[in-house]
Structure 1
Amino acid sequence: MAKTEQLQQKLGDRLVLDPERIAHYAHDSSRAEPEGTALALVLAESTADVSAALAWANEAGVPVSVRGAGTGLVGGANAYPGGLIISLERMNRILELDAENRLATVEAGVITAELDAAARAQGLFFPPDPASARTSTVGGNIATNAGGLRCVAHGVTTDAVAGLEVVLADGRVMRTGARTRKNVVGLNLTSLMVGSEGTLGIITTATVRLKPVPPGIPRTFRASFASLQDAGRAVSLIVNGPAQPEVLELMDSWSVEIIESFHPSGLTAPGGAMLVGQTVGLDAQDKAEAITETCLGAGADDVEISESDSLLEARRLSNPALNARGLKISCDVGVPIAQLAEVFHGIDAISERHGLRVSTVAHAGDGNLHSTVESPDSREGIAAADAVIDEITRLALSLGGTISGEHGIGSVKRHELPWQQDAVTLDIQQSIKHALDPRGTLTPDRAI
């Protein structure tokens, strides 16, 4: 076992050796279990703390897992046997909010919604908006290149990242990017780090781009459909139409039932699926009316427009509601928008063929689906549900899609990498990993 005395001298009580305290940080929110008991936990309070911890682990040959808020869904933050956990939750300061240049510089542990709230006090907002925004961290969002509800209008997290401070596997600190709108100096190491899931370095500080809050009062709209396929066709029409929403989400009938039982709000489950979304700007009402008219033309049997965002709040509760029901075996696939109706039809067929119910919620506006399978709590039940997920994933790939739209790969989805990426691509990724982390210290055998 590696000796921790040298690291203890540098970090003091920020190095935790108590197994009970360590256990809380040893896993994320996925169904994946930690591979073993970690040796120690670092409650980092600065980039210097992370640098000291990584330099020690690299020299001692100790594998490192990185943890933000633990909201990840693919086992990327789970502890290694005899490993070191580096937690960034204490690095939670907003260092600068530069309204004039629409930039914010934050530590990795800042909660996403808290950054957004601070920006809104200045008439700005932080575009990335994962469903877990009230608990997930900016660093975690960047590490997984998270998406969220506003993706259809503002893109994924990488589109909001201007620069990073990153600690490399040997403890060196690298700074990437610039505060300018344009920057073509050298390789784009910022983009390389975004979505790398802690395999190439630990993001400790980020400079992110903000946008002005749109004028007027947002409008939330709802459209209920008798079938998922009709809802999918409606999404394609909306995305290709003149009235563009800022948010466009889908919940199938069973998902609505689960959410309503978890947090009763009077929401009535549709026959097949419900689209919910939001329009912004001075013409928000006009756009919402145009979108609901499109939905009616695509087969919706009921529509609604409101100034309340309660429908979006229901969508944000989908993950907690599914977890409360014990549904954790899920996938995070993406397909081209035009293939939404076809993928929903295929998921129905897969569910029927296996005799297992599938709940689907989606960031419909960008084709990102989250399907979760009901399964008995047994080894056989889990294997059966995994088979359903594999089929859904292969279906998405057959339609020109991807195995992950925003959750990342972690350990849960790593076996799927060769389904999407060819041998040369996989080899190049490993070569980059080896160049930056030759000893395999950082998040080994995950993500890439």
Structure 2
Amino acid sequence: MMTLLLAWASICLTIIWAPSNWLWSFTTAHGLLVSLVSMYLIFNLDSELFIVDNLSGPLAMLSCWLFPLTLLASQPKMYFEPMFRQRVFIANATLLQVFTLLAFMSSDLMMFFFFFETSLIPTMIIIARWGAQDVRLDASNYFSLYTILGAVPLISILLVAYSTLGMLKPSPELPLMMWTTTFPYPTFLWFILNTAFLVKLPLYGLHLWLPKAHVEAPIEGSMVLAATLLKLGGYGMLRTSTLLQVPLYHTALLCMVFALLGIMITAFLCYRLTDLKALIAVSSVSHMNLVVVAALLHTPWSFSGATAMMIAHGLTSSALFCLANTLYERTNNRTIIILRGALVIFPLAGAWWLVVVLFNMGFPPTPSFIAETLIFTSLFHWSKIGFFIVCLALLFTTGYSLYMLASTMRGPFPLHIKVPLPFIIREQLLLVLHIVPVIFLMIYPSLIFF
């Protein structure tokens, strides 16, 4: 584990000593090298405090893979900042990556909670300092307030349990306390354990911070939020679900109803949104509520489907935010009606949009389709009505995905944009590095369930 931490700490040397003209090139290359080395070290991890299994391994690899991509996407905005601020930005992004990686691999629930909450600090700095508009401070406050308030019940019960029973030895199941099997109020215990995760995921009704944070965050913040930080909530839910021996859909039926309705309502809401980044952010709520349903079903198939859904959504949503950012850099606007007609000027961009939108709506045989098949199968055995609701929401998901594609690509190009810059090699490479892993998982889907 020390080798892994030292590998990430070595990026600080590049941040400090890299020449100004080569700062982003050196740090991106160094970050890619460290990410590849980390993926190798993750499989050979030998530590009692950190684990890698079928759940934490794919998410940790996803976090490593996306780190150099965030640096690659942030260059245009950060290039005109003072050099000291550029170095601070890269250092802050590296710190966020380390906290996220340690959270995914922590074997003890208290340690996981520590890194889970610590990731709030660099994320809040990214939104508040490098956000696009003045209301970025409000978005940062929303994000921090929701996260902190949601964490209060969990930290309270953790402190009581650890002070009463003492620190338990770490194991792959993240044991919390010996009395979970005999606790008289399992529903109350489940809500206490999962409030922080439901806010971070987020569950519909607790999601109001997400569109604001996504819209105001820079591209690096949007990519990290959608690809890894939201997955911390799903990861926590899947881990803590093993602490209760009763079926969760019996003890948390109200949460299941909110999740099923949230999938439907957010899909409807996407048709009314005019901001492209807000549309992508709200669509993430719909996908993540499907993870909540999978965690509550508490079956091996639903757990496998939730893991596949988090991996697929992490790559797809990050690619969507990159595409939205490319249009924003050329138009200085995120309103969908103003972004129309890009296919006429950028035909290759239209191909990228088509591929990523197909990934987003679960076109066979993408990883999203595999994940939805696994979750839908488990849901069908539990409730036919719930299965019908989710299938109906899937149709609306296809509709707003095609609406997003048609609204940005088709139609006449705006006349007020005189000199649209073509897509450059950096942007093409960024999209390729998002799409290639998805195609690789289509060929070898067993890699998600190693």
Shorter-chain TM-score: what band?
under 0.3
* TM-score, normalised via structure 1 length: 0.25
Which structure shows the higher strand fraction?
A: 1
Greater share of helix residues, 1 or 2?
2
Q: TM-score, normalised by structure 2?
A: 0.25
